[in-house]
């Protein structure tokens, strides 16, 4: 899911977890950063932050809510906004001063903000109508002074590619790896890098495995498309018939709505136990899913009316597809995707690759646990390589492949610059062509994948560092721009 493409969005698996983690550690926080292709004028951000300060200090929280975009209002209703801001003010006091720091990847503006009791970073994103469509607040960290000692040792790569990669990776922690596939005119080149001893060095890692996070959703939707094309199911089918019980309040959920995030379901199920932050999805199984559907199910939006990214929805889609064919999601994935597209090093568990798995890291370079999935596997459970993902990307160029074409067909218009198909986010490029994109992240990995079918061009990036999607997405689209020039 992007000119220096300022195509940005925050539709990753890890983000919803990050929200909950931060809520437990500090205070409620909202981070619904939707795409901002046309970055607003500096004055608009100044007006927005000035108004936020004035209304916040005066306790006019309803006026802050009125400045939100429709998407933000749905994500953080008025009562929640009041509760969040009241808690923020009670914990940290009023805002005494603020200082603009930077634009982050052309998506949001960061302000160093002095509250009475702490210095925090207030980050806001504006849509094309200058309404706030994203806000997150965190402890402020002074930028680290760059000693500029990192060495670019990518001399065996083309100069332009080496410089783009080096610029985006020089500040990564030691042992960070990126596995990059660049496809131009149907031909694939691989650029692997590892940071070691203050150097960015080349490494052959196209056959090494990384968690791909939410890019998994594209594959889940591809299973759906394949079953539709074989007339085994219909996009308009309700999922209720595949379950031997009645959903709470007789709520009906349809397959297409799960695939394009218009089901109205929340991001995560209420009964997901996040006490194990190191591996949060592992113990969410059939029992928990059935409990949710029978006793806790609720919709936050009317189906088919609103795009609201849902890991629960994508996971439920995968689980339901398994039920519909009297098998498991994992077996469907193996048969209909991995086997069909010759993805021999792709798995649904980090335990399968063995020594081919690149160990995940936190932003400081410390090893972290891998994530395992049960019934929510369809939301983010795939482990794969750039070599395998390149095969899947190149299959998109085949005009005879009807199931892949179906996944790329627009099913819902998110805004004037972005739509969604089945899984893929569809971004309108500067030349009017569509770019199909998704990114992902888990507790130790960040990833991004973009495909231009008309130009037979794609970029795939897998990394073993958590929470660096700003860099990974930016690098993905810089490389895409370089390929189409």
Instruction: Give which of 185, 207, 221 is closest to 438, Cα–Cα.
Output: 221
Q: Which residue has the tokens 């994103």?
A: 125
The phi and psi torsions of 460 (rounded to 5 degrees) equal -125, 130
Angle between helices 159-169 and 469-484 (to 10 degrees): 170
**What's the 3-state SS for the chain?**
CCCCCCCCCCCCHHHHHHHHHHHHHCCCCCCCCCCCCCCCCHHHHHHHHHHHHHHHHCCCHHHHHHCECHHHHHHCCHHHHHHHHHHHHHHHCCEEEEEEEEEECCCEEEEEEEECCCEEEEEEEECCCCCEEEEEEEECCCCCCCCCCCEECCCCCCHHHHHHHHHHHCCCCCCCEEEEEEEECCEEEEEEEEEECCEEEECCCCCCEEECHHHHHHHHHHHHHHHHHCCCCCCCCECHHHCCCCCHHHCCCEHHHHHCCCCCCCCCCCCCCCCCCCCCCCCCCHHHHHHHHHHHCCCCCCCCCCCCCCHHHHHHHHHHHHHHCCCCHHHHHHHHHHCCCCCCCCECCCCCCHHHECCCECCCCCECCCCCCCCCHHHHCCEECHHHHHHHHHHCCCCCCHHHHHHCCCCEEEECCEEECCCCEEEECCCCCEEEEEEEEECCEEEEEEEECCCCEEEEEEECECCCHHHHHHHHHHHHHHHHC
- What is the pLDDT at residue 10? 28
CB 339 within 8 A of CB 295: no
Residue 384, both tokens = 């794969």
How far is it, in rounded angstroms, from Cα 422 to Cα 440?
Answer: 16
* Sites in the chain below the pLDDT cut of 70: 1-43, 103-107, 144-148, 485
pTM of the model: 0.76
Hey, what domains does the chain have and what are their CATH numbers? 13-139 (3.10.450.50), 210-484 (3.40.710.10)
d(CA 387, CA 180): 9
| Per-residue pLDDT tens over the stretch 232-243 | 999 999 999 999
Measured from the Cβ of residue 475, the count of other Cβ atoms closer than 10 Å reads 22
| Exposure of 294 in the CB half-sphere (CA atoms within 13 A) | 10
Nearest one of 300, 395, 275 to 339, comparing CA atoms: 395
Looking at residue 146, its pLDDT comes to: 53
The pLDDT value given to residue 43: 67
Pair of tokens at residue 205 = 């890692």
Q: Classify residue 390 as exposed, middle or buried by CB count within 10 Å of its CB (0-12, 13-18, 19+).
A: buried
N- to C-terminal Cα distance for the chain? 21
What is the reported pLDDT for 33? 32
pLDDT of residue 365: 93
- State both tokens at 442: 């888990």
Identify the pLDDT of residue 393. Answer: 98
How far is Cα 231 from Cα 469, in angstroms, rounded to an integer? 37
């Amino acid at each position: 899911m992007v000119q220096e493409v300022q195509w940005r969005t925050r539709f990753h698996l890890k983000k919803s977890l990050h929200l909950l983690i931060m809520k437990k550690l500090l205070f409620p926080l909202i981070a619904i950063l939707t795409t901002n292709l046309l970055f607003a004028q500096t004055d608009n951000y100044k007006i927005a932050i000035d108004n936020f300060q004035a209304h916040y200090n005066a306790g006019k929280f309803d006026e802050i809510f009125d400045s939100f975009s429709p998407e933000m209002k749905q994500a953080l209703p008025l009562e929640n906004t009041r509760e969040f801001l009241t808690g923020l003010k009670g914990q940290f006091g009023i805002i005494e001063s603020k200082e603009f720091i930077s634009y982050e990847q052309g998506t949001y503006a960061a302000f160093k903000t002095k509250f009475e009791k702490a210095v925090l970073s207030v980050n806001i994103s504006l849509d094309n109508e200058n309404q706030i469509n994203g806000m997150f607040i965190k402890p402020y960290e002074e930028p680290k002074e760059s000693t500029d000692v990192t060495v670019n040792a990518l001399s065996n790569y083309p100069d332009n590619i080496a410089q783009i990669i080096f610029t985006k990776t020089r500040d990564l922690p030691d042992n960070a790896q990126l596995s990059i596939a660049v496809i131009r005119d149907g031909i694939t080149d691989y650029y692997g890098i590892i940071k070691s001893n203050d150097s960015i060095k080349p490494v052959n890692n196209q056959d090494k495995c990384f968690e791909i996070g939410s890019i998994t959703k594209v594959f889940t939707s591809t299973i759906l498309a394949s079953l539709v094309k074989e007339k085994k199911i219909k996009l308009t089918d309700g999922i209720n018939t595949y379950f031997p019980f009645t959903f709470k309040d007789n709520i009906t959920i349809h397959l297409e709505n799960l695939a394009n995030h218009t089901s109205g379901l929340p991001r995560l199920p209420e009964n997901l136990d996040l006490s194990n932050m190191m591996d949060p999805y592992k113990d969410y199984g059939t029992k928990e899913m059935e409990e949710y559907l029978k006793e806790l199910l609720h919709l936050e939006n009317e189906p088919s009316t609103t795009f609201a990214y849902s890991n629960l929805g994508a996971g439920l889609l995968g689980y339901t597809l398994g039920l519909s064919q009297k098998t498991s999601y994992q077996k469907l994935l193996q048969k209909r995707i991995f086997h069909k597209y010759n993805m021999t090093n792709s798995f649904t568990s980090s335990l399968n690759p063995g020594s081919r798995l690149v160990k995940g890291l936190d932003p400081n370079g410390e090893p972290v646990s891998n994530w395992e999935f049960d019934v929510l596997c369809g939301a983010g459970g795939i482990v794969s390589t750039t070599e395998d993902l390149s095969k899947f990307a190149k299959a998109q160029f085949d005009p005879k492949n009807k199931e892949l074409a179906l996944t790329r067909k627009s099913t819902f218009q998110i805004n004037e610059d972005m739509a969604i198909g089945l899984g893929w986010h569809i971004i309108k490029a500067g030349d009017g062509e569509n770019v199909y994109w998704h990114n992902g992240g888990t507790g130790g990995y960040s990833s991004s994948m973009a495909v231009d079918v008309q130009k037979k061009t794609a970029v795939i990036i897998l990394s073993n560092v958590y929470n660096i999607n700003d860099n990974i997405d930016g690098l993905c689209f810089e490389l895409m721009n370089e390929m189409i020039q």
